[in-house]
Amino acid sequence: MLKLMARLLEYSGPLLIREIIAYASQEERDTRTGILLVAGIILSRIFLELFHCRSELNLTIMGIRTSNALNGMIYEKALKFSLIRSVEHSQGSLVNHIQVDSEKLFYFGIGIGQTILLPLTLVIGVYFMWIAVGISFLSGMAMLFLIIFANSAIGKKTVK
């Protein structure tokens, strides 16, 4: 929820700046409205950073706990299971699970928030582009997809 609030506050800045530009271009300006717009930008940035830092902390803690839980399960299994008599598992595979696989779970915990909010970010970004540029942003999107496709094709040929 904190990550969602931070993501929505990221988009409040450009909207408030647009309102400030509209306010500055008016003939008759109300000082109170200008102060409220500037205070809105300042407060949105403060809350954005607070929500962002707290959500990153929560996701990092979740990743650490998941990684430590996996390490604990591996150590518990190692204490119950003799690695000397095992042909399937060795000391190296145990170290691999502890160092590599548990680290992947740690980074998964950090990246899960960004992955969940990716569709929302794309929809809001496309909507803002539509508002700011109009239909002409579709040509830029077409070029972006063309470059992505070409990069993917070149990457596949390079790997072979």
Local mean pLDDT, 10-residue blocks, the chain (160 residues):
82 84 86 89 91 88 85 77 64 72 78 82 84 84 91 88
How many Cβ atoms from other residues are within 10 Å of residue 119's Cβ? 9
Q: What pLDDT is recorded for position 85?
A: 63
Q: What pLDDT is recorded for position 104?
A: 81
Is 17:37 a contact under the CB 8 Å cutoff? Answer: no
Closest to 7 in 3D by CA, of 59, 48, 62, 50 = 48
* Structure tokens, 116: 């969940």
Q: What pLDDT is recorded for position 81?
A: 67
Q: What pLDDT is recorded for position 64?
A: 85
Q: What pLDDT is recorded for position 84?
A: 62
| Count of positions (residues) in the chain | 160
Q: Please name the residues in contact with 129: beta carbons below 8 A apart, sequence gap of 6 or more.
A: 137, 141
Q: What pLDDT is recorded for position 144?
A: 87
Is 37:18 a contact under the CB 8 Å cutoff? Answer: no
Q: What pLDDT is recorded for position 113?
A: 76
Determine the structural domain holding residue 108 and report its residue range: 2-159
Q: What pLDDT is recorded for position 15?
A: 83
Number of domains in the chain: 1
Q: What pLDDT is recorded for position 131?
A: 82
Find the farthest-apart pair of alpha carbons in the chain and give their distance in angstroms, rounded: 86
